[in-house]
């Protein structure tokens, strides 16, 4: 109960202050947006008792398009605590109280997946973020899963990014990523336990987060595969299939506790080391 009050006080009290500061920094084109974003999510991780483990080498020395699976609202907190990124989210998120404005200030790209003709707008924004030096996270399944599997990746946005990359001044790098919830209270999660973290289907948000706060010390592994260059050498279906394969392999390895192995080799990307 006390932890819930602390989390609520931080979110509803500090969030408006932080997004106002980020908005001001953005308008004045001053540095500090990334520092605020990363540390905001780090504080939320501590309050929510989310422990993040990184496997692989996420690119940090240049903007990159991270492509992976989606399990829960907690993915945003965990990934955001590692580095400042912009997320791609469904259009409805923009309407959520406080969350919507927070997402906008965090440079989220909103996409209307029901209207294919609006895909170009979302891709334009994604490429614009990358040109501005901001890495972007795309959850390629288009929805969240139960955390025990990877759903089929959708190729529309990836294909459009591939096309846009041909006219970009610098190569666009794509790095596969897997989000895996592995343990609760230090004990490995069984398949039946994973809905504690996973938020999917028709689950209501408030009961889910209340249960998460009440019971969780949750371990999440963020795995990164080998980055590739979006240069048109692969068609969108082949590129999407290989990214999906890489994400699935990393999730299986994290769930099994096996030592990660190289699972995605297409074309070496400059600056990957």
Crossing angle between the packed helical segments 2-9 and 205-215, to the nearest 10 degrees: 120
The pair phi, psi for residue 93, each rounded to 5°, is -60, -30
Q: In the chain, what are the helix, strand and coil shares in percent, each to the nearest 5?
A: 45, 20, 35
Residue 132 and residue 67: Cα distance in Å, rounded?
Answer: 19
Handedness of CA 131, 135, 136, 140 (dihedral sign): positive
pTM of the model: 0.86
Hey, what are 131's tokens?
């040109």
In the Cβ-directed half-sphere of 212, how many Cα atoms lie within 13 Å? Answer: 25
Using one digit for the tens of pLDDT, what is the confidence trace for 26-43? 777 777 888 888 998 999
Quote the pLDDT of residue 244. 95
Domain ranges of the chain: 2-256
Task: Determine how many CB atoms are found less than 10 A away from the CB of residue 270.
Answer: 11
- CA-nearest of 170, 155, 181 to 77 is 181
> Which residue ranges in the chain fall short of pLDDT 70?
1-3, 113-118, 166-169, 232-234, 258-273
* Cβ contact 38:75 at 8 Å: no
The pair phi, psi for residue 206, each rounded to 5°, is -60, -50
Mapping DSSP onto H, E and C, the string for 17-56 reads: HHHHHHHHHHHCCCCCHHHHHHHHHHHHHHHHCEEEEEEC
Hey, what are 27's tokens?
């308008």
Quote the pLDDT of residue 269. 41
Residue 92 and residue 243: Cα distance in Å, rounded?
Answer: 26
Hey, what are 53's tokens?
């483990």
Task: Determine how many CB atoms are found less than 10 A away from the CB of residue 215.
Answer: 12
Quote the pLDDT of residue 6. 74
């Amino acid at each position: 109960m006390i932890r819930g009050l602390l989390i609520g006080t931080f979110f509803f009290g500090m969030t408006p202050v932080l997004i106002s500061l980020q908005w001001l920094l953005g308008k004045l084109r001053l540095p500090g947006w990334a520092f605020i974003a990363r540390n905001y999510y780090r504080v939320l991780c501590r309050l929510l008792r989310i422990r993040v483990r990184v496997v692989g080498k996420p690119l940090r020395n240049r903007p990159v398009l991270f492509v992976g699976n989606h399990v829960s609202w907690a993915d945003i907190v965990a990934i955001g605590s590692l580095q400042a990124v912009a997320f791609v989210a469904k259009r409805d998120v923009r309407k959520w109280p406080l969350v919507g404005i927070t997402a906008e200030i965090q440079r989220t790209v909103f996409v209307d997946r029901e209207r294919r003709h609006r895909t170009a707008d979302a891709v334009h924004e994604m490429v614009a973020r990358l040109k501005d030096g901001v890495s972007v996270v795309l959850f390629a399944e288009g929805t969240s899963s139960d955390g025990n599997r990877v759903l089929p990746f959708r190729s529309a946005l990836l294909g459009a990014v591939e096309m846009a990359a041909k006219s970009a001044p610098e190569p666009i790098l794509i790095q596969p990523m897997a989000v895996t919830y592995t343990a609760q209270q230090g004990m490995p999660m069984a398949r039946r336990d994973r809905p504690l973290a996973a938020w999917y289907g028709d689950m209501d948000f408030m009961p889910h987060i209340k249960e998460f706060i009440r019971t969780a010390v949750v371990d999440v592994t963020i795995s990164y595969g080998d980055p590739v260059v979006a240069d048109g050498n692969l068609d969108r279906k082949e590129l999407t299939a290989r990214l999906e394969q890489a994400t699935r392999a990393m999730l299986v390895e994290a769930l099994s506790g096996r030592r990660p192995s190289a699972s995605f080799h297409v074309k070496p990307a400059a600056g990957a080391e």
